[in-house]
Amino acid sequence: MKKIGIIGAMELEVEALKDKMEIHRKVEKASLEFLEGMLSGTEVVIVRSGIGKVNAALCTQILCDIFEVTHIINTGVAGSLKNEINIGDIVVSTDALHHDVDVRVFGYPLGEVPQIGCLAFQADTELAQLAVACCKEVNTDIEVYCGRIVSGDQFISDKKIKDNIINHFHGFCVEMEGASIAHTAYLNHVPFVIIRAISDKADDSAEMDYPTFEKAAAAHSAALVEHMLQKIK
Ligand code: SAH
């Protein structure tokens, strides 16, 4: 029997899912509230991790240790790193990496955490394929892309910083949690996928766009996750 851990960094990324689930148990741990129960006929644990990589990593570890989830889905919003990926569109992860890790002085490529053996953490292909197929069914007004998601403890709203990240990592979108969820899931041998709807273009327009579009973008991503749960058996 599958048990899916669902993480959103912010309340608006998980509130619609929480409202629809049947709650069996509430558990408080590390100042987080984990809701265990059923959604769309699937066993789930839904949690708001808080923003940034540390919050997301510790939340993921608790899902693995205490709730023994079999899979992890991260839903939320992100800044686009490609001209053709517009606000509202969805990116499903092929892999994820930390764009703010730099240990090049000891010969590691930019982004690689030393002594871990890989630059990027691979998402589960079955979950990713299911996400793309479900997106085409449920969000017919937008495009869905499958590609690399890059994360760091920075809100990217400067074209120069954005271009630098694109040149180094060839990511499809940038956010602040995905890679640490991927990293933690990888160390625990738990399959994962990151699903992000675009809230901004991660350049000088991001500060204006983000507050305008975050709610609608978060809702797109959550609707997709809800639909996926109906198909996960
Ligand atoms: N509005 C919040 C802060 C949001 S930080 C507050 O005031 O507290 C941005 C969130 O959206 C993070 O969770 C991150 O994962 C995602 N995100 C969206 N666009 C981003 C961008 N351009 N750069 C980095 N993270 C972004």
**pLDDT tens-digit readout, 93-123:** 999 999 999 999 999 999 999 999 999 999 9
Ligand 1 centroid to residue 193 C-alpha, Å: 19
Torsion of CA 5, 11, 13, 17, to 10 degrees: 60
Tens digit of pLDDT for each residue in 121-177?
A: 999 999 999 999 999 999 888 999 999 999 999 999 999 999 999 999 999 999 999
Cβ pair 206, 137 in contact under 8 A: no
Polymer length of the chain: 233
The residues lining ligand 1, judged by C-beta closer than 6 Å to any ligand atom, are 9-10, 51, 76-79, 155-157, 174-177, 199-200, 202, 206, 210
Measured from the Cα of 9, ligand 1's closest atom is 13
Q: The dihedral of CA 9, 15, 20, 23: what is its sign?
A: positive
Query: What's the start-to-end Cα distance of the chain, in Å?
Result: 8
Distance, in Å, from the CA atom of 151 to the CA atom of 167, rounded to the nearest integer, reads: 15
pLDDT at 126: 97
Q: What residues form DSSP beta bridges with 92?
A: 146, 195
Q: Which amino acid is at 197?
A: A
- Pull the structure tokens for residue 149: 């998601």
Ligand 1 centroid to residue 41 C-alpha, Å: 31
Distance, in Å, from the CA atom of 48 to the CA atom of 117, rounded to the nearest integer, reads: 30
Tens digit of pLDDT for each residue in 208-219?
A: 999 999 999 999
Tens digit of pLDDT for each residue in 50-94?
A: 999 999 999 999 999 999 999 999 999 999 999 999 999 999 999
Active site residues: 13, 200
Which residue owns the Cα nearest ligand 1 atom 1? 211
User: Which DSSP string corresponds to 107-156?
Assistant: TPPTTPPTTSS-SSEEPPHHHHHHHHHHHHHH-TTS-EEEEEEEE-SS--
Verdict on whether the full-model pTM lies above 0.85: yes
Q: What residues form DSSP beta bridges with 42?
A: 39
Q: Supply the DSSP symbol for 104.
A: G
pLDDT at 140: 87
pLDDT at 139: 86
pLDDT confidence of 23, banded at 50, 70, 90?
very high
Which residue in this structure is represented by tokens 């809230």?
199
Distance, in Å, from the CA atom of 156 to the CA atom of 79, rounded to the nearest integer, reads: 7
Which residue in this structure is represented by tokens 């609707």?
223
- Pull the structure tokens for residue 218: 């978060």
pLDDT at 233: 74
> Among 7, 10, 214, which residue has the most ligand 1 atoms within 8 Å of its CB, making it the best to mutate?
10
pLDDT at 226: 96
Torsion of CA 200, 113, 170, 193, to 10 degrees: -60
Summarize the confidence of residues 9-15 as an average pLDDT. Answer: 97
**Residue 181: which of 100, 93, 101 has the closest Cα?**
93
